[in-house]
Amino acid sequence: MKKLHIFMFIDALGWEVLQRHKFLEDLLPHRYRVEMQLGYSCTAIPTILTGVGPEKHGHLSFYYYSPETSPFRLLKPMQYLPPSIFNRWRVRHMISKTIARIKGYTGYFELYSMPFAKLPYFDYIEKKDIFVADGLAPVSNIADEIKKRGIKAHITNWRNSEAENIQALTRDIDKGEINFAFLYTAAMDSLLHRVTKNGAEIQHKLNWYAEKIRTVLHTAHSRYDEVSLAVMSDHGMTTLTQPVDVKSRIEKLPFRYGKDYAAVYDSTIARFWFFKPHVGNTIKHVLEEIKNAHILTEKEKIKYRIYFPDNKFGECFLLMDPGYQIAPSDMGTYALPGMHGFAPEHKDSYAAYCSTEKPDKAPEWVGDFFRLMVGTLDDIVAGN
């Protein structure tokens, strides 16, 4: 019997988004609310692809303090060029592409809004394509597991648009040679950032996915005896309550960036490295005064699988309360209508898993998707 297993990833299709809209209820009757991995897509996707948390796969956030290894040292003079031109997204995107080409990076590489003056203090985590074999080495990812078993599979090239990705999968299915597919789509995330979970465009987009999925399955059924499908996501989307300017409270202190401390302001988490004890104490005191945020305890870091004994991603993490975004941040100047990266326990943070077949064990955390995919690979080898 010829069987095809399709796992489809829809970025930001959170549990709450699903509760508010219609999406393939007939086709995907088994539905689970799944805890996200604290962090961003750059944290969750490696977790989904390996089944382990950031403390094991090493991808917590894009930037980490490491001036000795920083690939951005050459950009130092750019801080003196007119920001009106060099801070434009398009220009920064072109600079990102150029650096990636020169350095031979194959991963998702974006400067975002990280100031040119700060970049030389930091190294970047996603230099390699994490979707291919060895992409998260020494940790084994789904591509390694496929390779190990000699299974014929299709994995999306994430650099292309989702319409192209669906087309590429359909072409491979039509050849009838693969038994496993991992389809990656990311446009839902940017839409949700823009219109949030109740936006009128969301149902329209879900209908688009539903229609594409039905067409893919139609092709699959013409080539295979049996087809299974699971749709999964990495997190939900929380509507903006209020932006909080964490950065200026720190920058007005009499401390020198790079000498006394370093900081990265992600959208929901600010991370700090302290180079002098009194600086750390003062900054922590200022952070404690900020309403709608708290400093993560060691216990919380362990619980969220983000405890790094060497403090690679910072020794102090300020996590914002759900809905309160850090703005301006190093990811963008303004708060967005929707954001993710808040406490995983908040209802809008939850990811989702929907499938045609009931999984042996319900996924509870996004890392469990890896276990379900590997279980499927084993079934393929066993001929089930």
DSSP designation for 321:
P
- Identity of the residue, 126 or 189, whose beta carbon is nearer to Zn ion in the bound complex: 189
- Identity of the residue, 154 or 235, whose beta carbon is nearer to Zn ion in the bound complex: 235
- Identity of the residue, 162 or 189, whose beta carbon is nearer to Zn ion in the bound complex: 189
Candidates 121-129, 189-197, 248-256, 346-354: pick the segment binding Zn ion (CB under 5 A).
189-197
CB proximity list for 185: less than 8 A, separation 6 or greater: 8, 9, 10, 11, 156, 162, 165, 166, 209
| Distance of closest approach, residue 341 Cβ to Zn ion, in angstroms | 8
Task: Name which of residues 91 to 110 contact Zn ion (CB under 5 A).
Answer: none
Applying CB under 5 A, the site for Zn ion has a residue count of: 1
Q: Which residue is nearest to Zn ion (CB)?
A: 189
- Identity of the residue, 71 or 236, whose beta carbon is nearer to Zn ion in the bound complex: 236
| Distance of closest approach, residue 20 Cβ to Zn ion, in angstroms | 18
Distance CA 143, CA 130 (A): 9
Q: Which two tokens stand for residue 358?
A: 């009931």
Candidates 19-27, 60-68, 110-118, 184-192: pick the segment binding Zn ion (CB under 5 A).
184-192
Closest CA to 324 of 239, 198, 199: 239
Buried residues in 30-52 as b, exposed as e (16+ CB within 10 A): ebbbbbbbbbbbbbbbbbbbbbb
**Alpha helix stretches (DSSP H) within 123-229:** 142-149, 162-175, 187-195, 200-223
Distance CA 265, CA 272 (A): 9
Candidates 2-10, 53-61, 188-196, 328-336: pick the segment binding Zn ion (CB under 5 A).
188-196
| Distance of closest approach, residue 91 Cβ to Zn ion, in angstroms | 22
| Distance of closest approach, residue 60 Cβ to Zn ion, in angstroms | 16
Binding status of residue 260 toward Zn ion by CB under 5 A: no
Distance CA 148, CA 142 (A): 10
- Identity of the residue, 120 or 243, whose beta carbon is nearer to Zn ion in the bound complex: 243
DSSP designation for 252:
T
| Distance of closest approach, residue 315 Cβ to Zn ion, in angstroms | 26
Candidates 99-107, 143-151, 182-190, 238-246: pick the segment binding Zn ion (CB under 5 A).
182-190
- Identity of the residue, 189 or 368, whose beta carbon is nearer to Zn ion in the bound complex: 189
Indicate the length of the chain as a whole number: 384
Distance CA 155, CA 343 (A): 30
Find the helix or strand (DSSP H, E) in which 373 lies: helix 368-382
Binding status of residue 189 toward Zn ion by CB under 5 A: yes
Binding status of residue 368 toward Zn ion by CB under 5 A: no
| Distance of closest approach, residue 71 Cβ to Zn ion, in angstroms | 24
| Distance of closest approach, residue 12 Cβ to Zn ion, in angstroms | 6
Distance CA 49, CA 135 (A): 10
Determine the 3-state secondary structure of 264 from DSSP.
Answer: strand
Binding site for Zn ion (CB under 5 A): 189
